[in-house]
Structure 1
Amino acid sequence: MAEFGSDDGTAVRRDRFSGGPARGFVSSLSADERIFAADVAVDRAHVVMLAEQDILDDATAGKILTALNVVEVEGHGALPEGEDVHEAIETAVIEQVGPEGGKMHTARSRNDEVATCIRHRLRDDLLDAAEAVCDLRAALLAGATEHADTVMPGFTHLQHAQPTTVGHYLLSYEQALARDFERLVDAFQRVNRSPLGAAAFAGTPFDVDRERTADLLGFDGVVTNSMDAAAARDFLVESASALATLATTLSGLAEDVVLFANQGYLALSDDYSSTSSIMPQKKNPDTFELVRSVAGDASGSLTGLLTTLKGLPRAYNRDLQNATPHVWASVDAVTEAAVVAAGGVATAEWQVGTLAEAAGSNFSTATGVADLLAMAGVPFRTAHEILATAAELAAADGRDPDYEAVDEAASTVLDGSLSAYVDRDAVEAALDPAESVAMRDSAGGPAPDAVTDQVTEADARLSTDESVVDGLRESIDESHERLTTTVTDYV
């Protein structure tokens, strides 16, 4: 029988199931480095609660908490061998304190312990992602403010559709990212609940105070049902889903940037580009290509997670050990992609002249002229026919559509002449991309004034969202201080 304090990683459970070829297969100690700090915090909160509830005497609690301080200082790399970080930390404590150190595991299981550690760490990661999203939104808003009246081509089906403005385009992604932010914060709210005290799944006969450990760890409350608390991983699914959705938004932005760089609409900073290994003239948008690819990784992580969880019976199953890494991989990759995208957008230079020249190509102002005719009383479908005919006539003559083409088409489609509805100056103004954009000043539209209004609203929303992240971080920091202060009463 192995003694407590042995260095073979089996001290906390003696010799039974202590070795064999499967030992390494089930071990997660290396991967658990990510939740090492969370585990130390969870151990401290649990020991403090045991002492406050007179389940553990103060002297023993003090020894265990002192040992945990040593474990924290020495770090994950100094831990003895173990099946996972939880077992390794407990073994390290027993090595220092002796058998009494094993009392730190009273009234809990690794099942509720690991679930708590995952939530404790994940909430910080979600806030990092939310903060990165805010930074990207700020970069987009800065660009929208600077380019509120910079005309550019707008696309549907990758075809020139209607002229718009760079500001309007950038705001479209800012608004999508604002929703991505909301999803991350919503996920955070459900992550930030404590399972600690649920034990293996069936609760404990000890008089534990679950609300107290939740408070010491900065959780908003507890996951009430003990079986649900130990088994539930839907908070991982929600987080992975929010991250995959964010990654999809980033992928769309990255695709546009790659295409716009190809067309000469914008120039990326050298810091966000690379050259060819063989073609020295090349300037490749490599960083945004990698941002684009992250959506595949994130959606793959979500699918892998859902597949792992599908059909698992209640309550705890070791499959869950392989569920969490999907989320760690996703949150790291997506957060980094958002940071890179923010830097790339902030340093990109929009090529105003090239954009203006391209904005009116392929008769992209046709819809604006049709709208002008409709406002003058021509049925829109008739106006649509007139402009389609004008496009055909101009193409047949090998010229760009102009007033003459529209006038000729109107005489073919209408009983009367075009001048009976609108004067020439109005039509020629509508054919101009900048004027066409200025006409579309409805709420949320691309007209410079409408863009300015959207920027004002978005700035206010972003400021509120940044305050939300700051408030959540402050609450977590306060809990760290509260736990640290409480621990010092025992050591």
Structure 2
Amino acid sequence: MRHYSPGILSAVLCFSVVSAGAWAQQPATAKSAAPAGAAPATAAAEPVRDPFFWLGEMNKATAVINTEQGLLDQALGARLAAGVAKVIDEGNQPGAKRPSTVITFEPLLIKAAGQDITLLHAGRSSQDMHATYRSAILRDNLLALADQLQATSTTLVKQAAKHADTIVPNYTNGVAAQPNSYGHYLLGHAAALDRDAQRIREAYVRIDRSPMGTTVLNGTSWPLDRKRMAQYLGFTALVDNAYDASQISSMDQPVEVGAIVTSIALHAGNFIEDVMTQYAQPRPWILLQEGGGNTYVSSAMPQKRNPGLLNSTRSDASTAVTLAMGPVWQTHNITPGMSDPKDTEQNTAMVDSAITVLKRWDRVLKALVVSPERALEELNSDWTASQELADVLMRQYKLPFRVGHHFASEVVSYAKANNIKPLDFPYDQARRIYAEAVKGADYPAELPMSEAEFRSTLDPVAIVKNRQTSGGPQPAEMQRMLKEAQARLTEQTTWIKARRDHINASLAELDQQFDQLAAGAAAK
């Protein structure tokens, strides 16, 4: 049985409930991480890239490299390769055990080819071998996370394009603040996820480095070809310092990935909470489409349509944050190299929790129903356009902003005291309030705005359309930002594919070289 540390046991149990098993979500044919001891669903299925898989690849690469470089006799190398092939084939059979440690993998090698096969272990250690498969699995996990981040970001950008001209209230400090394009708001969230994509790419560079060949912590007297090993395993670089390789770097990796998981979960939670506030309103301008598991009826109150999908997404985000804290606490106050934060299953579950959040967020985005009419009604029932009064007085009539702000604030106070909405505010009262605001000062005594200009200044649609700020919601800037967001998504798709292609091509080359070596034993 897997023994989790007390600090994250409850989080792991919580995640297993909400996700119904992270491993079960992966396609049977995917070359991705799976729990130790698990076997492929069928003999024909491509094996998952779990610890057993990578231990097999390391042994394959060792046999090929050491034979070619003369560290192993050609005939002996071929015989040992045949033994490695036998262990891998048996592990790929339905129901077969797939050991996840060097000390449980090696007895299978000895059984298949005798004690001579331990010659492959020259210059190696469970330290560098385990560090290597942990990096390889975390590398695969990051690509899976990048895939789902890409899918959710694509949905965000599509929805932003759809709602480029939908004008809604935006909020600061929990209070309606200004009118905005809902598409502009969504692009803001897409920008946040783009930073998460950047973090994945940056972390990937640090994780895509091979520790293999460093033995325990200071290398070996055997002249092992670390670069060739890294190439066969699909790594683009080495962890240069042998001590760093398994003692420090391998502890840093889950902590860094945990920070990415945390960021994604926080972004999702922020978005969900913003939508949830509308459910407290008697007439929300944004809701989930009913049915399909998005909402459910209260067991006691027939009028309620509870936003189940929002609740579960928020809960999943909380679970992801909880799991992401695990590596931090496990790495805290331990000596370098300890195994506490390195558990492959736990770290994969952490990444899978973020994938679950992104999947649910994607579903939320596709289920949102926005009422532009109701949003505009809410805008026109409050004074979210009042800042524009101060801005226009300053821009058009050179009135200091603080003077214009004071005038606008007094207009709002009078309106709220007398229950007057923006579109109904009496122009003569605006003139009176302005005159009082500038009394005794060296500014125009009469409100310089005409009645038509005063009323158009309070139009939320016009405010959004007439913004001049780079990065604002005006149509020209929206089109520019949408185009650039779509271009970044295309670049991310290309990046993911290139990384996968590199790994797969490297492993394919290893297979070819290994099969040729193992075939030499069969020919004798």
What TM-score, normalized by structure 2, do the two folds share?
Answer: 0.82
1:274 matched to 2:264? The reply is: no
8 Å contact kept, 1:163–1:436? yes
RMSD of aligned residue pairs (Cα, Å):
2.5
In structure 2, the partner of 1:290 is: 312
Distance 1:345 1:99 in 2: 59
Residue 319 (str. 1) matches residue 340 (str. 2): yes
Q: Which moves more between the two structures, 62-71 or 200-209?
A: 62-71
2:125 equivalent to 1:101? no
CA change 1:403–1:32 in 2 (3 A) is: farther
2:321 corresponds in structure 1 to 299
Q: Give CA-to-partner distance per residue, 1:200-238, whole Å, 9 cap, x none.
A: 222111121000110001101111221111212112211
Which of 355, 359, 383 does residue 404 from structure 2 map onto? Answer: 383
Q: CA deviation at 1:25?
A: 6.3
The counterpart of 1:38, out of the listed 54, 69, 86, is: 54
| 2:421 corresponds to which of 386, 400, 421 | 400
Question: Match of 1:451?
Answer: 478
What is the alpha-carbon distance in structure 2 between the residues aligned to residue 400 and residue 344 of structure 1?
33
Superposition deviation, residue 448 in structure 1: 2.9
Q: Residue type of the partner of 1:275?
A: Y
CA distance in 1, matches of 2:178, 2:288: 25
Q: How many residues align?
A: 463
> Does the C-alpha gap of structure 1 residues 389 and 135 become closer, same or farther in structure 2, counting only changes over 3 Å?
same
Is 2:495 the counterpart of 1:468? Answer: yes
Query: In structure 2, do the counterparts of structure 1 residues 30 and 247 end up closer, same or farther at CA, with 3 Å as the change threshold?
Result: closer
Q: Out of 53, 59, 65, which is 2:78 matched to?
A: 59
- 1:74 counterpart = 2:93: yes
In structure 2, stretches of 5+ residues that fail to align are: 5-33, 39-49, 519-524
Which residue pairs with 1:350 in the alignment?
370
Deviation of 1:48 (Å): 2.2
1:240 aligns with 2:253: no
Aligned twin of 2:511: 484
Q: Which residue of 1 aligns with 2:352?
A: 332
Contact 1:71 1:89 in 2 (8 A): no
Question: What does residue 413 of structure 1 align with?
Answer: 437
Deviation at 1:161, TM superposition (A): 0.6
Specify the code of the residue in structure 1 equivalent to 2:273: E
Q: Secondary structure of the equivalent of 1:208?
A: coil
**1:251 correspondence with 2:272:** no
Distance 1:30 1:336, change over 3 A: closer
186, 196, 204: which is aligned to 2:212? 196
- Residue pair 1:195, 1:223 contacting (<8 A) in 2 also: yes
Distance 1:480 1:424, change over 3 A: same
Closer, same or farther: CA 260–398 of 1 in aligned 2, 3 Å = closer
* Partner Cα separation in structure 2 for residue 88 and residue 211 of structure 1: 27
Alignment counterpart, residue 229 of structure 2, candidates 208, 213, 218: 213
Alignment match, 1:373: 393
Q: What are the superposed Cα offsets for residues 372-401 of structure 1, whole Å, 9 maximum, x if unpaired?
A: 111121110000100111111122222224
The SS at the match of 2:314 is helix
| CA offset digits 1:422-480 (Å, max 9, x no partner) | 22222211111111222223111122332222111211122112211121111112112
- Unpaired stretches in structure 1, ≥5 consecutive residues: 1-22
How does the TM-score come out when normalised to structure 1?
A: 0.87
Displacement of 1:143 after TM fit? Answer: 1.0
- Identical-pair percentage: 26
For residues 210 and 320 of structure 1, the distance between their equivalents in structure 2, rounded to whole angstroms, comes to 25
**Residues 66 and 180 from structure 1, CA distance in 2 versus in 1: closer, same or farther, beyond 3 angstroms?**
same
Report the more deviating stretch, 91-100 or 165-174: 91-100
| In structure 2, C-alpha distance between the alignment counterparts of 1:414 and 1:182, rounded to whole Å | 51
Task: Tell me which moved more, 265-274 or 203-212.
Answer: 265-274
* CA drift at 1:256: 1.8
Q: 1:417 to 1:399 in 2, by over 3 A?
A: farther
Q: Does 1:136 align with 2:155?
A: no
User: Does structure 2 conserve the Cα–Cα contact (< 8 Å) formed by 1:163 and 1:360?
Assistant: no
What amino acid is the match of 1:235?
Answer: Q
1:80-119 Cα deviation digits (max 9, x unpaired):
8x7x533332222222222223333222111101110011
Aligned to 1:3: none
Distance 1:403 1:126, change over 3 A: farther
- 1:14 maps to which residue? none
Checking the alignment, whether the CA contact within 8 Å between 1:32 and 1:85 is kept in structure 2 is no
Aligned residue type for 1:385: H
Q: How much has 1:45 moved relative to structure 2?
A: 2.1
Task: Measure the CA separation in 2 of the matches of 1:62 and 1:69.
Answer: 11
Tell me the distance in 2 between the aligned counterparts of 1:236 and 1:313: 16
Superposition deviation, residue 321 in structure 1: 4.9
